[in-house]
Structure 1
Amino acid sequence: MIRLGTMTSVCPDWSIEQIIDGMQRHGFEGLEPRAGWGHASGFELDMPAADRDAARAKIEDAGLKISCVATGAKFAAEDPADLDKSIAEANAAIDLAADLGAGLIRTFGGARGKGEIFWMVNRTAEAYKRVMDHAAERGVIVMMETHDEWCVSTQVRAVVEKVNHPNLGVLWDLMHTQRYMERPEETMQTIGAMAKHLHAHDGRYDTENGKITTVGLGEGDLDYVTPLKLLHDAEFDGFFSVEVIHKSGSDHDSDATLKAYGDGFRKIVANF
């Protein structure tokens, strides 16, 4: 079953209690903390053990779940020192996810330099292998997101296949693969079976600077009906997690974002 989730990036200034209230108000089931950004909810890689236990209890007592821990770890990093930092970040996130009852963490490929994709895939796969033992020990799946320089699903699949480990999967960002002109049917065939989690942020190609503007679900130029129907028919069991990024302290309306995406999601899946 595809369930509705949100990242703390949607509501960076809300406490855990406010997040629970907002999620329940708009029909959300899963929370994806974005560690490392100083959100008011306090989910960080150095979060004390007692705080981890308390946060998990509050979420679960409300009938909700921590779906995933989102990191900024980049496994295609060319600089050994940068890669070591990403490895350490991922390992810490694995521990946080396990302690919070989440079975997933989000990572990136990130910038990969120049050269043949064959070598980039091999180098990135070797980096992911470095965290597989720890992930297996803690019962957490590390996900590589279709994101940044790794939006083409065949390249992400190549990394996952090269690692060939049950604790490495894919986070399918439904926007980014379409930005790279993949049809949802193509992406589904390529990584659908590897996908463990989804990111949602609709967008409109109408800005003068050539970029895409984030809008409410169903208000943009991206196709969310097709991939969600394909995943539904394939009995995907995971979260459709809203990734609308609001900066802490900025002028934004977290409640309106949750309502727009909650209503939009239910409108789509009601026809399945």
Structure 2
Amino acid sequence: MKYAFSTLGLPGSSIAEAAALAAEHGFDGVELRAHAEEPLHPGTPNADRAAAVRTFAAAGVAVLAVAGYAKVAAAGDDDHVVAELLSLIVLAADLGAPFVRVFPGGGRLPEPEADTHAVRRLTAAAPFAERHGVRILLETHDSHRTGAAAGRVLDRVGHPAVGALWDVLHTWLAGEQPDASRRALAAHLGYVQVKDVASATELTPIGLGDGVVPLAEAVAGTPADGWLCWEYEKRWHPDAAELPGRLARGRAHLARLAAAPGGRAAGRPPAAR
């Protein structure tokens, strides 16, 4: 098993700081939040991209993914969405990242319409991603927060350059059991994003293993050579404890779960909402 964390947990930090923290605490990689607030995003100059590659290489840390904000199921024309996808793919390729994260973002659109938007746009971008050695991952989030919903779209796309990012919190909040999520996403899975919270209504991030998210069951379904990425949402919860102080314990907890999958009893999912 390989381990990463998201730079969403390190708002305002530099690439050098993220790489050093990963190396110091035994993480194999980082998921880079690709937003204009951050050092790396689609508008970042080529020289800065190359410098980031050197920084990560020197630290022995991989760039797991570029976490973009394209919304593939959203209303509107395709051109803007597909252009955003292509720019994220180029960024990932420049950084040596195998994955690009995208959101559904279907909002209040009827399910068939949102699905069709997502299928069309992902299908349009897939050959470009394949040529660049990058895989686009649709996260279980917002309008498609269950494995069943994301899998429904991905089954229709049917392209090896398009897959799934399993955000365990969102499938659990939607009331989907981890084994059901795993079955729905098994043919498409890129990697698993883990996090922990105190309850279904208190979503401030806490240390892994300190809350109620069924992490053991999710880890049990992750391939032995797969990636687990800790998304600690400090950017959205500024009062949460600082991530660096929690990295060592979080890494150790994931390693224990990976060594003995399913060893910890976890709560039932909340009612779908």
Q: TM-score, normalised by structure 2?
A: 0.88
Residue type of the partner of 2:226? G
Residue number in structure 2 paired with 1:4: 3
The alpha carbon displacement at 1:248 in A equals: 9.3
What is aligned with 1:191? 185
One-letter amino acid of the structure 1 residue matched with residue 176 of structure 2: E
Provide the C-alpha distance between the structure 1 equivalents of 2:126 and 2:67, rounded to a whole number of angstroms: 17
Q: How does 1:206-225 map to 2 (within 5 A)?
A: 210-225=201-216
Select the residue among 161, 164, 167 that pairs with 2:161: 167
User: Any conservation in 2 of the 1:192–1:231 contact (CA below 8 Å)?
Assistant: no
The corresponding residue for 2:69 is 72
Q: Deviations over 1:220-243 (max 9, x none)?
A: 1111111211224xx4x3321111
Q: Is the 8 A contact 1:142 1:168 kept in 2?
A: yes
Shift of 1:37: 4.3
* Partner of residue 245, structure 1: 233
Amino acid corresponding to residue 259 of structure 1 in structure 2: A
Of 116, 121, 124 in structure 2, the residue corresponding to residue 122 of structure 1 is 116
Greater relative CO (CA pairs within 8 A, separation 6+): 1
* Residue 171 of structure 1, CA deviation: 0.4
1:63 to 60, 64, 67: 60
Shift of 1:158: 1.4
Name segments (4+ residues, structure 1) moved above 6 Å: none
Q: Is residue 258 from structure 1 mapped to residue 247 from structure 2 by the alignment?
A: yes
Structure 1 residues 108 and 155 mapped into 2: Cα distance closer, same or farther (>3 Å)? same
- Between the aligned partners of 1:88 and 1:261, the Cα distance in structure 2 is 36
Q: 1:227 is matched with which residue?
A: 218
- SS for the counterpart of 1:68 is strand
Q: Following the alignment from structure 1 to structure 2, what is the Cα–Cα distance between the partners of residues 153 and 230?
A: 13
Task: Report deviation, 1:169.
Answer: 0.3
Match of 1:267 among 244, 256, 266: 256
CA distance in 1, matches of 2:194, 2:79: 30
The answer (yes or no) to whether the contact 2:147–2:182 under 8 Å persists in 1 is no
CA distance in 1, matches of 2:238, 2:196: 21
1:53 aligns with 2:50: yes
Give 5+ residue unaligned stretches, structure 1. Answer: none
Q: Distance in 1 between matches of 2:189 and 2:167?
A: 10
Aligned to 2:265: none
Q: Secondary structure at the match of 1:219?
A: coil
Equivalent pair of 1:12/1:248 in contact (CA under 8 Å):
no
Decide whether the 8 Å contact of 1:109 with 1:145 is kept in 2: yes
Deviation at 1:219, TM superposition (A): 0.9
CA distance in 2, matches of 1:46, 1:248: 23
Is the CA contact (8 Å cut-off) linking 2:73 and 2:104 kept in structure 1?
yes
**What is the TM-score normalised by the length of structure 1?**
0.88
Give unmatched runs, 5+ long, in structure 2.
Answer: 262-273
Deviations 1:11-63 (A, max 9, x none): 12222222222112211111111111412xx1121221122112112212221
Matched residues, number: 260
In the TM superposition, residue 176 of structure 1 has moved relative to its aligned partner by: 0.8
* 1:106 aligns to 2:101 (yes or no): yes
Following superposition, the deviation at residue 189 of structure 1 comes to 1.1
Deviation track 1:67-87 (CA, whole Å, cap 9, x = no partner) reads: 00000100111122xx53332
Cα deviation, residue 109, structure 1 = 0.5
Matched residues in 2 for 1:145 and 1:248: separation? Answer: 18
CA distance in 1, matches of 2:37, 2:205: 22
SS of residue paired to 2:252: helix
Q: CA deviation at 1:204?
A: 1.8
Structure 1 position 249, deviation (Å): 12
One-letter identity of the residue aligned with 1:183: Q
Q: Is the 8 A contact 2:141 2:167 kept in 1?
A: yes
